[in-house]
Amino acid sequence: MLIKASVKRISALLGFSLVNQTKIITAAAELSRNALIYADQGKFKISVLDDTRRKGLQMIFSDSGPGIENIEQAMKDGYTSGHGMGLGLGGSKRLMDEFDIKSAIGVGTTISVTKWV
Amino acid sequence: MERIPILKVGQYLLITIQVDLHDKMILALQDELTNMIVKTGARGILIDISALEIVDSFIGRVLAQVASCAKLLDAETVVTGMRPAVAITMVELGISMKGVHTALNAEDGMELLNDILHRDEYAHDFSAIN
């Protein structure tokens, strides 16, 4: 819930439209839920990107959970190994502009997503 | 834990979700609601989500489950007041709430419930005649 509040505040300050704010907050909810379901805990980092032409918001979710064996499969809609609906990863990718996932078995998973204003 | 109040109005149960939903809250709501349907014999459930800023896949799934449960207990569910930005996001996320009726606001939702229930009664009468 703390994540949601900070994401909302920062995305509003950056000037995202209401629809895009909603998409970003929803992606944050999906990805933090993933980390909670599969790893019990995780780290969340939010950054403002500014490459002189445009501004963006980047969120990084990292956990030290079991890791994902088959990322391609995990990205598919409807695939879930836990209690989710299996939309978290693929859905978040659609809601954001950039999506990057790194995972190692036994080490954990780091997901980085970005949306540009 | 904060609870979401369930109001009984005639043969309907009304729920307005005013606060950010924690997972435990919505699961508790699902439990309480199914018990209330049986206890009161309610025929319709109206869930107003106009205060919700997001509906993620978890909340969407629970709302759909509530509707399926209610259906098995002979009650119809209408979800009302979804914000436009939430609708756009849900579609992109890939959430489909099959079996859930929707209406733009609580008033339309009540009307829809009335229509559905009267249609059912009509169908019952009709099958009784034949």
CATH code of the domain in which B121 resides:
3.30.750.24
> In sequence order, what are the beta bridge partners of B76?
B44
Pairing of strands B44-48, A43-50: unpaired
Position B128 scores a pLDDT of 65
Name the residue range of residue B125's domain.
6-129
pLDDT tens digits, one per residue of A57-91? 999 999 998 888 888 888 887 766 655 556 778 99
Q: If you average pLDDT over every residue of chain B, what do you get?
A: 90
Confidence of residue A17 (pLDDT cuts 50, 70, 90): very high
How many domains are contained in chain B?
Answer: 1
Tell me the residue length of chain B: 130
* A109 vs B126, higher pLDDT: A109
Q: Which residues of A touch B53 (CB under 8 A)?
A: 8, 22, 25
Distance CA B7, CA B105 (A): 17
Which residues does residue A114 pair with via DSSP β-bridges, in sequence order?
A: A58, A98
Note whether ipTM > 0.95 here: no
**Domain ranges within chain A, ordered by starting residue:** 2-116
**Would the pLDDT of B19 be above 90?**
no
* B1 belongs to a structural domain: no
**Would you state the pLDDT for residue B58?**
86
- Min Cα–Cα distance to chain A from B115, Å: 32
| Residue in chain B nearest A29 by alpha carbon | B56
Which tokens go with A70?
A: 């088959």
Which segments within chain A are labelled E, that is strand? 43-50, 55-63, 98-104, 108-116
Across the range A24-50, mean pLDDT stands at 89
Q: Is residue B23 part of a domain?
A: yes
Pairwise CB contact (< 8 Å): B60 & A19 = no
A95 → closest Cβ in B60, B61, B92 = B92
CA A34: distance to chain centroid? 9
Chain B residues whose C-beta sits inside 8 Å of any chain A C-beta:
20, 22, 53-58, 60-61, 83-86, 88-89, 92-95
What's the rounded mean pLDDT across residues B102-126?
88
Task: Answer whether B76's CB lies under 8 Å from B70's CB.
Answer: yes
Residue B114's pLDDT band (boundaries 50, 70, 90)? very high
Residue B13 pLDDT greater than 70, yes or no? yes
In a domain, B47, yes or no: yes
**Class of the CATH-defined domain A2-116:** alpha beta
Q: How far apart are CA A101 and CA A12, in angstroms?
A: 26
**Three-state secondary structure readout of chain B:** CCCCCEEEECCEEEEECCCCCCHHHHHHHHHHHHHHHHHHCCCEEEEECCCCCCCCHHHHHHHHHHHHHHHHCCCEEEEECCCHHHHHHHHHHCCCCCCCEEECCHHHHHHHHHHHHHHHHHHHHHHHHC
Geometric angle at alpha carbon A24, from A18 and A25, rounded to 5°: 90
Characterize the bridge pairing of strands B12-16 and A98-104. unpaired
Residue A52: DSSP 8-state? S
Q: In the prediction, which pLDDT does A75 show?
A: 85
| Chain A partners within 8 Å of B95 (Cβ) | 85, 87, 91
